[in-house]
Amino acid sequence: MDFSDKSIAVISGDPSKRKSGGALLGDRIRMNAVSGTLATNRVFMRSCATRQANVSVNKFLPAMVQVLRYCGFDMIIVETAGIGQSDSEITTIADVALYVMTPEFGAPTQLEKIDMIDYADIIALNKCDKAGAHDALRDVKKQYQRSRQLWSETPDAMPVFGTMASQFNDAGTNRLYAHVIATINQRTGTDWVSALDTSNAPEVRTRIIPPERTRYLAEIADEHVRYAQFTAKQSEIARKLYQLRGTIDIVSAVE
């Protein structure tokens, strides 16, 4: 396990609803493992609402980070409540900004509107098992290159990683993790060394379900419906033939 001697603080942001002013704080529900024996002494997690609608961070977030720094945590991870096309406030707070998006961003022109592509240090394109993810990854890399005028480098050299967080030991997620550690070392002067070997991690990920089988459950259901319709039709034909046969037998008996 990497960095078993390091302490980590996590601040998760959840949006406050404009109508009610409340927030679900769902991250607190999911982070049940933080109370385990292994993590108790070196992991602190706190979820907080934005306290305002249409913003991605709590206005007291900088003060929270300062308190955690004073407490001596080796790493502080801040998750925003969700960043829209024009919200990049987190980049003024974090030493390293990681922007997580999915392939469903619409037409490639929509990338011009996403402010975080211009400011994020690293981009993760998650759910890369979805159809069209390869094209989306290419478009995001080109947009990252274009926004920073990095014409001397190839799009594949951009710090944009296709990931499948739902898959255990996903190669893309491993490559992203290694790059995050390297970027933190570069920005903050740390010398953290990961034991994870990503030298042979492929760019192309293995899908959990092959593309040609993504609808296999729907196909089974469709086939079941078609079979039911077929058997009902054949039963009706057989019933009519039986009735005709009976009629013929009655007429023949009378004659």
In 32-67, which positions are buried (b, 16+ CB within 10 angstroms) versus exposed (e)?
eebeeeeeeeebbbebbbbeeeebbbbeebeebbee
- Whether residue 235 sits in one domain with residue 112: no
Q: What is the pLDDT of residue 3?
A: 84
- Whether residue 219 sits in one domain with residue 154: no
- Whether residue 183 sits in one domain with residue 221: no
| DSSP state string for 76-121 | EEEE-S---TT--GGGGT-SS-EEEE-S-S-SGGGGGG-HHHHH-S
- Whether residue 76 sits in one domain with residue 28: yes
pLDDT band at 183 (very low <50, low <70, confident <90, very high): very high
- Whether residue 229 sits in one domain with residue 130: no
pLDDT of 189-207, one tens digit each?
A: 888 988 887 766 665 555 5
Domain carrying residue 224: 215-254
Q: What is the pLDDT of residue 37?
A: 47
83 belongs to a structural domain: yes
116 belongs to a structural domain: yes
Place of tokens 């379900």: 209
Say how far apart CA 116 and CA 94 lie, in whole Å: 13
Q: What is the pLDDT of residue 142?
A: 94
- Whether residue 220 sits in one domain with residue 134: no
User: Where residue 66 sits, what CATH number does that domain have?
Assistant: 3.40.50.300
Q: What is the pLDDT of residue 195?
A: 83
Q: What is the pLDDT of residue 159?
A: 94
Q: If we measure between CA atoms, which residue out of 94, 20, 24 comes closest to residue 57?
A: 94
Q: Structural domain tally of the chain? A: 2
pLDDT of 6-48, one tens digit each?
A: 888 888 887 777 777 776 676 777 776 555 545 557 888 888 8
Q: What is the pLDDT of residue 153?
A: 92
94 belongs to a structural domain: yes
